[in-house]
Amino acid sequence: MPEIEIGKVGDFFARPVVAGIDLTAPIKVGDVIHIKGHTTDIQMTVESMQVNNVNVQEASAGQSVGIKVSDRVRRGDTVYKVLP
């Protein structure tokens, strides 16, 4: 499936399991993302995300969002949006 790069993981929190992603393109709840790195390879649907601890439905380039992830990710991992 085609993918476009939408940002990088800037931070990771183990509890809850949340990735802080610095966006270079917009993202919304319901999008399928693929997080890829040296030891990371996760594909998942965005079920919720936060900007400054506030739940949002979408976020745009230049924002940092917190997204619950299914597994550990690492700083510098690349985040892609999977295109339908």
Which residues span the domain enclosing 30?
Answer: 3-82
Q: What is the CATH number of the domain that holds 29?
A: 2.40.30.10
* Number of domains within the chain: 1
pLDDT of residue 77: 98
Q: C-alpha angle with apex 80: 20 to 32, nearest 5 degrees?
A: 90
How high is the pLDDT of residue 17?
Answer: 93
**Which pLDDT tens digit goes with each residue over 15-39?**
889 999 999 999 999 999 999 999 9
